[in-house]
Chain A
Amino acid sequence: MDILISGLLLGGTYALVAMGLNLQYGVARIMNLANGETLVLGALAAFLAFTAISLSPLVTMLVVAPLSFAANWVAYRLLLRPLVKRAKSPGQLEVDSILATFGISFALVGLMVSIHGEYYTYSFLARPIEILGTTVAENRLVAALVAAGIGAALVGWLNFTRTGTAVRAVSVDRQAAQLVGINVARVSALAFALGGAVTATGGTLISTFITLDGSMGVIFTMKALIIVIMGGVGDLRGSIIAAIVLGLVETAVASLIDPGLTLVSAYVIFLGILLFRPQGLFGKRNA
Chain B
Amino acid sequence: MTAKGWKDLVLIGVLVLAAAFVPLVTDGYWLSIAVTAMMYIALTTAWTLFSGPTHYISLATGAFFGVGGYLVATGMSDHDLPFWLMAAIAPVVSVVLAALIGAATLRLSGIYFVIFTLGLAEMIRGLVSWVQNNFLGSRGLYVLTDFTEAHIYWMLLAIAATVYVIGWLIDRSRLGFAMKIIGNDEGVAKHLGIDTARAKVLLFMVTGFFSTLVGAIVAPRYSYIEPNQVFSPELSFMVVIMALLGGTQKLWGPIIGVIPFILIWETITASFPNATTLYLGLCFLAIVYFLPNGVVGLVQKIIAKGRSA
Binding site for B on A (CB under 8 A): 31, 33, 79, 82-83, 91, 94-96, 98-100, 102-111, 113-114, 117, 215, 218-219, 221-222, 225-226, 229, 258, 260-261, 263-264, 266-267, 270-271, 274-275, 278
Contact = CB atoms under 8 A, between A and B. Distances in A.
A261 B288 contact: no
B111 A31 contact: yes
A109 B108 contact: no
7 contacts: A82-B289, A91-B110, A100-B285, A103-B282, A106-B280, A258-B134, A260-B129
B154 interface: no
Contact of B281 (A31, A83, A107, A260): A107
Main secondary structure, interface of A, reads helix
A99 B112 contact: no
B176 interface: no
Contact of A111 (B55, B108, B278): B278
Interface stretch (B9-17, B34-42, B115-123, B198-206): B115-123
* Max chain B Cβ within 10 angstroms of own Cβ: one of A91, A98, A108, A275: A98
List 10 A-B pairs, minimum CB-CB distance, nearest first: A110-B278, A103-B284, A106-B281, A107-B281, A103-B285, A110-B277, A222-B119, A106-B280, A100-B288, A99-B288
Contacts of B112: 229, 274, 278
Contacts of B123: 263-264, 267
Contact of A99 (B111, B244, B279): B244
Given A99-B244, A105-B281, A106-B280, A114 B274 contact: yes
A261 B130 contact: yes
A103 B281 contact: yes
Contacts of A275: 104
B126 interface: yes
B interface, how many residues as a size bin?
Answer: 35 or more
Interface of B: 55, 57, 104-105, 108, 110-112, 114-116, 118-119, 122-123, 126-127, 129-130, 133-134, 233, 237, 244, 274-289, 292
B126 A104 contact: no
Contacts of A215: 277
Given A99-B288, A267-B123, A222 B244 contact: no
B281 A264 contact: no
A222 B281 contact: no
Contacts of B111: 31, 94, 98
Contacts of B287: 99, 103
Contacts of A94: 110-111
Contacts of A106: 237, 277-278, 280-281, 284
A126 B118 CA distance: 34
A108 B281 contact: yes
Given A107-B277, A113-B277, A215-B277, 8 more contacts: A83-B288, A95-B57, A102-B237, A103-B287, A106-B237, A110-B276, A258-B130, A261-B127
B108 A219 contact: no
Nearest to B244: A99
A110 B284 CA distance: 13
A129 B129 CA distance: 34
Nearest to A82: B289
Given A95-B55, A271-B104, A274-B104, A264 B277 contact: no
A52 to B, nearest CB: 22
A172 B122 CA distance: 34
A261 B284 contact: no
Given A99-B287, A274-B108, A264 B127 contact: yes
